């Protein structure tokens, strides 16, 4: 994965600590020493990526780090210390990571998550009232169960470590995070990026992964839905396909054709909707690929 910004945590705090020189009692001095030592070790944590809503960060933990948690949830660490975290579209201003180091010491890192300016469209019509029909819910329930089951799959794919590529190039017809407000009432935001393309156009895996869902018949909203796990809680979903070229359980390589664009499910025209999640966080695929060129 390629990121645009690198942040090393603890460095600003260290500089601030170095600038302060006060006479300290032995207890205070010991505490300060311990904190400084903790920070020194913490400095060995590297981060690349963007501290923004919908953003992803790739991290590097010092050798021997025992455990990591991010906002209370455990974060697995790969053999070489690499790990991944991400910020939900609606993430608040701050998040906290706690690491237990080799010597048992715990260190904390605070993230300042920059808010995004989402594309918001105010429309002067009321949001459809009445809710979904019983017939729709009867059809929808098993579909949601399949989607949730696919998201629970944790493959040992290393795709999460790669630089992601665009599954297909074309006009971006819908941005991640955009939202309509119906007479003051917000609708749900757009969960992925839409890429317009002719029906039958091939799209490829943006990174290595394992197929966790390959719809056998079109889902009511998603149409022919394909889901891929990239490892470490990171996954992709591809919606509205006219054809799926891979099977559940199959390993796919970055750049390998996995399906063809269509307009199945709820779609106004042929396009590929690509959405990504890290655990429960909805993230912006563009922050993994960079702009299309």
Residue 174 Cβ, how far from Zn ion at the closest point, in Å? 5
Q: Which of 230, 273, 277, 282 binds Zn ion (CB under 5 A)?
A: 273
284 contacts Zn ion (rule: CB under 5 A): no
CA atoms within 13 A on the CB side of 265: 25
Cβ proximity to Zn ion: between 194 and 284 the closer is 194
Using CB under 5 A as the binding criterion, the count of chain residues that bind Zn ion stands at 3
Burial class (CB in 10 A: 0-12, 13-18, 19+), 58: buried
194 contacts Zn ion (rule: CB under 5 A): yes
Cβ proximity to Zn ion: between 109 and 190 the closer is 190
222 contacts Zn ion (rule: CB under 5 A): no
240 contacts Zn ion (rule: CB under 5 A): no
Strand duo 179-182 + 120-123: pairing: parallel
Residue 282 Cβ, how far from Zn ion at the closest point, in Å? 12
Q: Which x/- pattern, by CB under 5 A, does the window 149-188 give for Zn ion? A: -------------------------x--------------
Cβ proximity to Zn ion: between 39 and 189 the closer is 189
Cβ proximity to Zn ion: between 89 and 273 the closer is 273
Cβ proximity to Zn ion: between 163 and 220 the closer is 220
**Distances from the Cα of 69 to the Cαs of 20, 41, 107, 241, in angstroms?**
31, 17, 11, 37
Q: Which stretch binds Zn ion (CB under 5 A): 103-111, 143-151, 155-163, 268-276?
A: 268-276
| Separation of alpha carbons 176 and 273, rounded Å | 10
Residue 36 Cβ, how far from Zn ion at the closest point, in Å? 49
At 139, give phi and psi (nearest 5°).
-80, -35
State the residues that interact with Zn ion by CB under 5 A: 174, 194, 273
């Amino acid at each position: 994965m390629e990121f645009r910004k690198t942040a090393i945590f603890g460095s600003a705090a260290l500089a601030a600590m170095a600038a302060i020189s006060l006479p300290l009692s032995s207890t205070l001095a010991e505490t300060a020493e311990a904190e400084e030592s903790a920070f020194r070790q913490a400095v060995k944590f590297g981060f690349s990526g963007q501290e923004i809503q919908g953003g992803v960060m790739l991290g590097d933990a010092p050798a021997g780090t025992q455990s990591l948690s991010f906002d209370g949830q455990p974060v697995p660490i790969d053999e070489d210390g690499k790990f991944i975290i991400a910020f939900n579209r609606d993430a608040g201003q701050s998040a906290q990571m706690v690491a237990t180091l080799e010597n048992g010491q715990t260190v904390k890192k605070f993230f300042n998550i920059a808010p995004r300016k989402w594309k918001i469209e105010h429309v002067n019509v009321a949001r459809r009232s009445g809710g979904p029909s019983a017939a729709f819910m009867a059809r929808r329930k098993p579909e949601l169960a399949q989607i949730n089951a696919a998201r629970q799959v944790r493959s040992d794919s290393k795709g999460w470590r790669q630089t992601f590529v665009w599954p297909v190039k074309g006009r971006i017809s819908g941005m991640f995070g955009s939202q309509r407000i119906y007479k003051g009432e917000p609708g749900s935001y757009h969960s992925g990026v839409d890429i317009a393309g002719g029906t039958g156009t091939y799209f490829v895996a943006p990174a290595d992964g394992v197929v966790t869902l390959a719809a056998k018949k079109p889902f009511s909203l998603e149409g022919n839905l394909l889901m891929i796990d990239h490892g470490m809680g990171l996954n992709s979903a591809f919606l509205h396909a006219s054809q799926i070229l891979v099977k559940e359980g199959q390993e796919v390589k970055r750049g390998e054709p996995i399906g063809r664009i269509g307009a199945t499910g709820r779609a106004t025209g042929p396009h590929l909707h690509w959405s990504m999640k890290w655990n429960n966080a909805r993230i912006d695929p563009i922050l993994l690929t960079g702009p299309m060129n």
